[in-house]
Amino acid sequence: MRPKAWAFPRACLFFSEIVAWILTVVMAFRGELLWALLCAVYALGADAAGRAWSRKSPIPMPYFMRWVLLVPRGPHSPRHIKSILQPRSGERILEIGPGVGVHALPIAASLLPNGVLDVLDVQQEMLDDLKRHAASTGLTNILPRQGDAQKLPYPDQTFDAAYLISVLGEIPDAGVALRELRRVLKPGGRLVIGELLIDPDFISLLVLQKMASDAGFVFEQSAGPSFAYSAVFRPAAV
């Protein structure tokens, strides 16, 4: 992963873009169109710079920005992800990049009484937060582990399903991570990947389909709008 020191200036760039968009709307309503235009131009420039930076040097969302994960998710809400993933009691499922557990907690609850949710994150601070939240709700079937998605620390054909929500673009080599997910999924297992356009690491559905196909997956379906979609894949038959 890239140095943590890079996270702060990138966060500043992201927040300045949000402020610029807010000012664009405010100035437009006040009739100050020149200022609205200038704010919009800055916001577009910051967005383009952020996306270029993310493509060149992808890093995970820093821990100090974890509160962003609590913002309502719309098409990526835990309820919607559950309806797409369809977790069942007794299954073993993997989440890559769980953050503070917004999706992990309800998914783990749906696997009870005999199922297990493994969560892998490169940042131990995120996992510590998740463990505290799980303990406060009485969930004991979450197995947290710090590690790299490009080298998953699990045996072949371990999981019934896996999912990543706004995470794949943060991995330096997403293709390697997809091949690793293909390795640890059982035959007939399912992979759900959610992407959100506002995320500077956004991967379009067409690009994702090509990446997943190269990694040995077959595209099954997608749900939600193109700017906030969730895609379902299955391992290709050998």
pTM of the predicted model over 0.75: yes
The structure tokens listed for 231 are 């895609």
Q: What are 19-32's pLDDT values in tens digits?
A: 877 888 888 888 98
Across 46-55, 93-102, 152-161, 219-228, least confident range:
46-55
Q: Residue 170 — φ and ψ, nearest 5°?
A: -85, -10
Task: Say what the pLDDT of residue 7 is.
Answer: 60
User: What integer best gives the mean pLDDT of the chain?
Assistant: 88
Residue 192 in contact with residue 166, Cβ under 8 Å? no
Query: What is the Cα–Cα distance from 224 to 166, expressed in whole angstroms?
Result: 14
Q: What ranges do the domains of the chain cover?
A: 4-59, 68-235
Query: What is the Cα–Cα distance from 223 to 150, expressed in whole angstroms?
Result: 26
| pLDDT > 60? residue 3 | no
Q: What are 116-139's pLDDT values in tens digits?
A: 999 999 999 999 999 999 999 999
Across 63-67, 71-75, 164-168, 187-191, least confident range:
63-67
Side-by-side strand order, sheet with 185-196: 142-146, 116-121, 92-96, 159-165, 185-196, 228-235, 217-223
In the numeric block, the tokens 């020191």 are attached to 5
Which CATH fold would you assign to the domain 68-235? Answer: Rossmann fold (3.40.50)
